[in-house]
A and B are shown apart, each in its own frame.
Chain A
Amino acid sequence: MLTESNFKSERASCREIVDAGAYYIGVVKAGETFRIVDIEGNQAADTLFFNASNTSERYSAMDTIREQGNVYLTTDSELRSNKNNVMLKVVADTCGRHDTLGGACSTESNTVRYDLEKRCMHACRDSWMLAIAENPGYGISKRDISHNINFFMNVPITTEGGLTFEDGISAPGKYIELRAEIDVIVLISNCPQLNNPCNGYNPTPVEFLVWAAP
């Protein structure tokens, strides 16, 4: 469902550009709202969430889609943890549909999907590995890296049980906004994938903005 936000960019408490192939990691407090903007369009932002006070509780795609009875994320979606608790809520969405089934790219899955000799191309999971290695204070390890959300990515499921990566339905300036229900660690890999249309074969920056609780 398409919904716009009343938050003004100039009032944000934090604004950060995340280039393709780079990561963002930070804490969003309960009650704060954050936005991810697809600045140039057709860009996947591969995102994980952790309970900031207990990182073994994390975003769970299966609990989220099962409880809402729908595989796509949009306005009013409640993002749930592996303990089936609500962590965040989608409060605005100008794109309309976000994927949480396709997972992130990794150098290993690239070998299967494209070619064994593409094993050294940059991938989202490598960005996450660098993020947790450079930020040990969060206490996140490879064990915690799991099934994520692909904001702005279009992965339609057919009634016959097919699944494909399609051209994005996102466009320049589209955004999604989420309100944290608990303190969460946000870990974003701005996807560097060059082998499929998830970034329109041209990975571009996204913007991350945070607003204090109203």
Chain B
Amino acid sequence: MSKYIRSIDYSTELVTGSHWSLKVRRGTVMRLSDAFGGANIGMLFYNPENLLERYSAPDTLKCQHTFKLTRGNCLYSDMGRIFASIVEDSLGWHETVSGNSHASHIEEKWGERDYQQDLNDWKQNGHDAFLVELAKYGLNQTDLAANVNWFSKVMVSNEGAMQLEQNYSHAGSHVTLRFEMDTLVLLHTCPHPLDTAASYPQKKVKIELGQAHTLNDDDYCLNFRPENGRGFQNNALHHIGSGI
């Protein structure tokens, strides 16, 4: 399959405006692919054993001295552990600071969300999509943290101005996550909040799940930064006594 993927055991496709959540086990790989180009996937991570532990964008960025996410980076929880590492990436830049579109953004750009009229083509927004998935686990907006926006590049000028690179991701772009602990994953495929497309995007992403190869001492993510070595040590402490 690849240096990191032992098997792909499940595959599905989601169109723009969808949302989903699932618990993945340590050792799972999740490969995300952009079918047509210009897709966005919002994603959040929680520890299913303790939902108070969640993805921390600020810790992820400062621990690795980076503003963008790409191959080699690890996604940290607010408890110093690694939910997942980015083992493959065909793009080079995914952002984690712009948050989600709200209903007001969508309405301003592309008109009101209207299921009655539009059925499956209703213009869902990222914020409400996450609220729905959060509620399934007894969570609410209190638990909403800064999310990852896969396939979206937001650059910052020297003066701090933010800009989304429109259509940065091309058809076939892909990124692979390897989960380093059991993780609750929440995701949506709603448009990036800074998207300026003329109409509500009609994109599609593929999500594949399978088994990762065992991590070796020369692993790229483990050695990408000295901080990641210590993050993996925190994970080892988390799993101590579990026999794996």
Indicate if the CB atoms of B161 and A70 lie closer than 8 Å: yes
| Nearest residue, chain A, Cβ from B127 | A84
Contacts A101-B61, A102-B61 given: A159-B156 contact, CB under 8 Å? yes
Closest Cβ–Cβ distance, residue A189 to chain B (whole Å): 14
Mark out the residues of chain B between 112 and 152 whose CB falls within 8 Å of any chain A CB in the assembled complex. Answer: 140-146
* Chain B residues within 8 Å of A102, by CB: 58, 61-62
Question: B99 touches which one: A62, A103, A104, A106 (CB < 8 A)?
Answer: A62
| Nearest residue, chain A, Cβ from B229 | A112
Identify the interface centre among B155, B156, B158: most chain A CB within 10 Å of its CB. Answer: B156
Indicate if the CB atoms of A163 and B162 lie closer than 8 Å: no
* B-side interface residues, number (CB < 8 Å): 45
Closest Cβ–Cβ distance, residue A36 to chain B (whole Å): 20
Indicate if the CB atoms of B230 and A103 lie closer than 8 Å: no
Question: What does the 1/0 interface line of A127-154 toward B look like (CB < 8 Å)?
Answer: 0000000000000001110110000000
Indicate if the CB atoms of B233 and A116 lie closer than 8 Å: yes
Q: How far is the CA of A157 from the CA of B158 in the complex (A)?
A: 7
Interface residue B160 (Cβ < 8 Å from any Cβ of A): yes
Q: How far is the CA of A147 from the CA of B244 in the complex (A)?
A: 33
Q: How far is the CA of A112 from the CA of B98 in the complex (A)?
A: 25
Mark out the residues of chain A between 52 and 87 whose CB falls within 8 Å of any chain B CB in the assembled complex. Answer: 56-58, 60-63, 65-66, 69-72, 82-84
* Chain A residues within 8 Å of B227, by CB: 112-113
Contacts A112-B63, A112-B227, A116-B234 given: A60-B99 contact, CB under 8 Å? yes
Task: Report the stretch among B27-35, B64-72, B211-219 that lies at the interface.
Answer: B64-72
Contacts A66-B99, A101-B61 given: A146-B145 contact, CB under 8 Å? yes
* Chain A residues within 8 Å of B79, by CB: 108
Question: What does the 1/0 interface line of A36-63 toward B look like (CB < 8 Å)?
Answer: 0000000000000000000011101111
Interface residue A164 (Cβ < 8 Å from any Cβ of B): yes
* Chain B residues within 8 Å of A115, by CB: 230
Interface residue B199 (Cβ < 8 Å from any Cβ of A): no
Indicate if the CB atoms of B67 and A70 lie closer than 8 Å: no
Indicate if the CB atoms of B155 and A82 lie closer than 8 Å: no
Interface residue A165 (Cβ < 8 Å from any Cβ of B): yes
Identify the interface centre among A60, A116, A157: most chain B CB within 10 Å of its CB. Answer: A157
The 7 closest A-B pairs by CB, nearest first: A103-B58, A62-B99, A108-B80, A161-B68, A72-B160, A157-B156, A70-B160
Kindly list 20 other residue pairs between chains A and B, CB separation below 8 angstroms, not including A66-B98, A112-B227, A163-B65: A62-B98, A62-B146, A65-B98, A69-B162, A70-B159, A71-B156, A103-B59, A106-B78, A108-B234, A109-B56, A109-B63, A111-B230, A112-B230, A113-B62, A157-B156, A157-B160, A158-B67, A161-B68, A162-B66, A162-B67
Give A residues with C-beta under 8 Å from B: 56-58, 60-63, 65-66, 69-72, 82-84, 97, 101-104, 106, 108-109, 111-113, 115-116, 142-144, 146-147, 155, 157-159, 161-165
A to B CB contacts below 8 Å, 11 in the list: A103-B61, A103-B62, A108-B81, A109-B59, A111-B80, A112-B231, A116-B230, A157-B156, A162-B66, A162-B67, A163-B65
